[in-house]
């Protein structure tokens, strides 16, 4: 993963956000399947295997972006298949409520985890590690909590529209 100018590690930020999402989902009575709960780095194939064996209904992969320019910032939600667009839109609509600009909701994104077709799935690119403004937000545990809350709210929105 990326490392910010001030040494913030993407892998640590991602795991922190995911653990917050997990806690929020458990409080709502949902069960979760994690592909990592520590500093391990399972392969993409192993992550998909964990999802299949865990019979997941929705898969969310949380990352943070980086760019060649410090001026690029914002949040994005990526998906591969058209049937995942609604899920991506629900989460993106919630993430911008944190005050982040929408960098994009990108379809047909060719990332191994997005190729899954046995459940709806998205990749959340929370912010840009390369942006000083985004880095400052990512360094703030309260802001990471807001991001986690918005991801969960987006999942709830998606599930409500599926009823």
- pLDDT one-digit tens code per residue, 130-158: 999 999 999 999 999 999 999 999 999 99
**What's the pLDDT at 130?**
92
The answer to whether 125 and 75 are in contact (CB under 8 A) is: yes
* 42-49 CB contacts, 8 Å cutoff, 24+ apart: 44/112, 44/113, 45/112, 47/113, 48/112, 48/113, 48/116
**What's the pLDDT at 40?**
76
10-24: per-residue pLDDT in tens? Answer: 889 999 999 999 999
Q: Inter-axis angle of helices 141-162 and 10-27, to 10 degrees?
A: 50
CA distance 151 to 104: 15
**56 confidence band (pLDDT: 50, 70, 90):** very high
């Amino acid at each position: 993963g990326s490392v910010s100018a001030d040494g913030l590690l993407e892998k640590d930020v991602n795991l922190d956000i995911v653990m917050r999402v997990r806690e929020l989902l458990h409080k709502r009575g949902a069960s979760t399947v994690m592909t990592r709960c520590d500093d391990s780095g399972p392969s993409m194939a192993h992550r998909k295997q964990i999802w299949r064996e865990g019979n997941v209904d929705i898969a969310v992969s949380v990352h943070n972006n980086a760019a060649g320019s410090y001026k690029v910032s914002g949040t994005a939600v990526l998906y591969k298949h058209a049937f995942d667009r609604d899920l991506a839109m629900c989460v993106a609509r919630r993430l911008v409520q944190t005050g982040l600009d929408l960098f994009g909701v990108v379809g047909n994104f060719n990332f191994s985890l997005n190729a899954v077709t046995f459940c709806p799935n998205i990749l959340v690119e929370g912010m840009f590690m390369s942006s000083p403004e985004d880095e400052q937000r990512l360094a703030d545990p309260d802001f990471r909590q807001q991001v986690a809350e918005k991801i969960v709210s987006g999942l709830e929105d998606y599930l409500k529209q599926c009823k």
